[in-house]
Structure 1
């Protein structure tokens, strides 16, 4: 067990490059199961969740060759389907939510797939109905073992069809798209997720021989093909890291340049930060955030309090709401943070309140933040990271706070952020990883 010890209140300076997108990596790595040919993926983030997925594929029989730290070759020409019902598979797969996306490729290619209840962040209900309803519409039979909490889908014959998803689930859409890519006939998916991660997955599948129309929209048309080929694919920069670094610069009054930020894939993220009063300059594919003594939250045209809420793409990603909440604590003005998707993601605000923040938790989905305008700095505290995104929000708070902070359970942060302590040290942050006995 390790923790972060942070001396806050220090201005940072320099350049930082975002890692590859975690959420995209989990999807495209699962897609290698669609073909027996070699697939090479680059810009893979070297983080716990992604590495665990690569390890899971390896023990399933997929050949994996880590060419470099951030590039890997995969070849799924000898997948061990019997392993999918072993205790080791259940243990490995249940620790990582993203591995649920192996089911679509396995079902399409081998006619059957098995999966235990997936793990991941404890941020409220995260139902899987969309995945299995989609598989059933394609012709698969679904069974749920309530005692072992084990999911089974099998199909002797599948056929393309029309489906309207009950929610625009990113992982659900990814799973169904991968299954449909090898399913005979035409599949139409309405209310499909269209996040950049999903667009990237679709482009990768097309390069493997899939026939997909409507990429980037919520209406996808997929014409099934008989087999998929190998390909090379490069993962986008992680937009959640980009947003985290923008918030970190604002909170600490730092001048930071985010290199190779993937500007055209950020959607409304820059505009949402500008509504918080944060200045930034776009230079090519880089974002320069100048040092600001203060930043003021905008209001709506009629003068009412600003609301920052998550929404399906092209709306604001829910993964950044924790960052928006923490930067609002030191802004001038007030804001209502509305986390619509998950009901437990705001429960870390008590830790910010202990640091001196003025926050009213209205209900599990909404919190009102009254900004301190940097007149009363947050104070250092002993903190615990409850999940990946809240953990980084607390890290940003600690970097801006007066005095020393300790963050425990940083394994949660490591699941999504590659060597974050070392990268921040290069910007001048006083952060160190300490082993806890």
Structure 2
């Protein structure tokens, strides 16, 4: 197990380029299974979860040529579909929730798929019902194998249909879309997720020969085709990392420029950080955050305390609520953070309270933050990262705190942020990795 040792209080300065989007990568990389032709993908983040997914692709027979750490060519022309039923795949695939994304492509192309019990963050209940129900509506049969601990799906030929999703699940929508592109007939998906990363997937599939319309809306229409071709695709910058860097600059009173931020794809993210009082300038595709001594949380027009909550796109992403909560601790004013989608994501607040933050955890979904306005700095402590996003939030807190902090279980952070310690050192952070 590794730890970060952080000496907080340094003001950072410089430019940083966001990595490729983790949440896009898990969908895009799975889609290479839909064709026997070469698919080249660039701006791949070099992080644990994505590298594990690439290993899984290689294990089932995908030929992979890695021309650089962020660019790979994949060719799925000799796939061992039954390997997904093996104990080896269940053990490795069970470590990564993203492995569920293989089901749609495998079911569409090879008529059978297996889904191990999903791994990933322990942030609350994350059901697979949307995936399974969608596959069933396309004509697939499924059963659960209690001994093997996986779902088995099969269909001689998927058939297009109309479906209204019970929730706009991003991974659920992506999985169903990947199954539907090779189905017979037309599939209409209402209440579909419409995140930029899902839009990226649909555009990539269309470049491969799929016929998807309604991209960017919650109503997707997919005309099935017989075969897909290869393509070249570049992934978007990671919006979660961009939000993290905005929060980092504010917390540490630093001047940071985020280069090539993909501003047009950030939605309401910049607005939410401005509501916390953080100033920044957008020039072209770059975001410049000047050093700011004090930032003050806005109130609603009637004077009510600001509430920031998560919501499916184009609402605010739940992955940034941990960052918002941490950043608010040193703002002037108060905010209610309402995490609607996951019931365990706010449980890291006890560590911030130990650092001196004033937070009231109302229940598993809501926390009220009373900003200290820098009257009292956070203090360094020893803590453990519970999940990817909370880990990054705690790292930001440590960088702004007085004294030394030790963050344990940093493999959780490495799952979502590439070379984060090296990149922060280039900005002037005092951080080292201890094995």
Name the TM tier (shorter chain).
Answer: over 0.9
Post-superposition CA distance 1:383-432 (Å, at most 9, x none): 10000000000000000000000000000000000000000000000000
- Which shifted more, 153-162 or 415-424? 153-162
Report the counterpart of residue 242 of structure 1 in structure 2. Answer: 242
Q: How far is the alpha carbon of 1:82 from its aligned partner?
A: 2.1
Q: How far is the alpha carbon of 1:18 from its aligned partner?
A: 0.1
Q: How far is the alpha carbon of 1:83 from its aligned partner?
A: 1.1
Q: Secondary structure at the match of 1:371?
A: strand
CA distance, structure 1, for counterparts of residue 188 and residue 385 of structure 2: 41
Report the counterpart of residue 154 of structure 1 in structure 2. Answer: 154
Post-superposition CA distance 1:36-72 (Å, at most 9, x none): 0000000000000000000000010000111101000
- Aligned pairs for 1:16-415 within 5 A: 16-415=16-415
Q: How far is the alpha carbon of 1:146 from its aligned partner?
A: 3.2
Q: Secondary structure at the match of 2:188?
A: strand
CA distance, structure 1, for counterparts of residue 43 and residue 267 of structure 2: 21
Contact 2:276 2:295 in 1 (8 A): yes
CA distance, structure 2, for counterparts of residue 272 and residue 433 of structure 1: 32
Report the counterpart of residue 422 of structure 1 in structure 2. Answer: 422
Post-superposition CA distance 1:65-101 (Å, at most 9, x none): 1110100010000000121111111111100001100
CA distance, structure 1, for counterparts of residue 82 and residue 310 of structure 2: 41
CA distance, structure 1, for counterparts of residue 83 and residue 109 of structure 2: 16
CA distance, structure 2, for counterparts of residue 308 and residue 21 of structure 1: 23
CA distance, structure 2, for counterparts of residue 162 and residue 190 of structure 1: 8
Report the counterpart of residue 7 of structure 1 in structure 2. Answer: 7
CA distance, structure 2, for counterparts of residue 177 and residue 27 of structure 1: 11
Q: How far is the alpha carbon of 1:145 from its aligned partner?
A: 2.0
Q: Secondary structure at the match of 2:427?
A: coil
Q: Secondary structure at the match of 1:314?
A: coil
Output the aligned Cα RMSD. Answer: 0.6
Q: Secondary structure at the match of 2:372?
A: coil
Contact 2:170 2:194 in 1 (8 A): yes
CA distance, structure 2, for counterparts of residue 200 and residue 311 of structure 1: 20
Q: How far is the alpha carbon of 1:149 from its aligned partner?
A: 2.3
Post-superposition CA distance 1:296-322 (Å, at most 9, x none): 000001000000000000000000000
CA distance, structure 1, for counterparts of residue 332 and residue 69 of structure 2: 42
- Which shifted more, 141-150 or 406-415? 141-150
Q: Unaligned regions of 5+ residues in structure 1, if any?
A: none
Post-superposition CA distance 1:237-259 (Å, at most 9, x none): 00000000000000000000000
CA distance, structure 1, for counterparts of residue 17 and residue 174 of structure 2: 27
Q: How far is the alpha carbon of 1:115 from its aligned partner?
A: 1.7
Q: Unaligned regions of 5+ residues in structure 2, if any?
A: none
- Which shifted more, 152-161 or 45-54? 152-161
| Equivalent residue pairs, number | 435
Q: Secondary structure at the match of 1:383?
A: strand
Q: How far is the alpha carbon of 1:157 from its aligned partner?
A: 2.2
TM-score, normalising length: structure 2:
0.99
Post-superposition CA distance 1:244-297 (Å, at most 9, x none): 000000000000000000000000000000000000000100000000001000
Q: Secondary structure at the match of 1:425?
A: helix
CA distance, structure 1, for counterparts of residue 115 and residue 311 of structure 2: 29
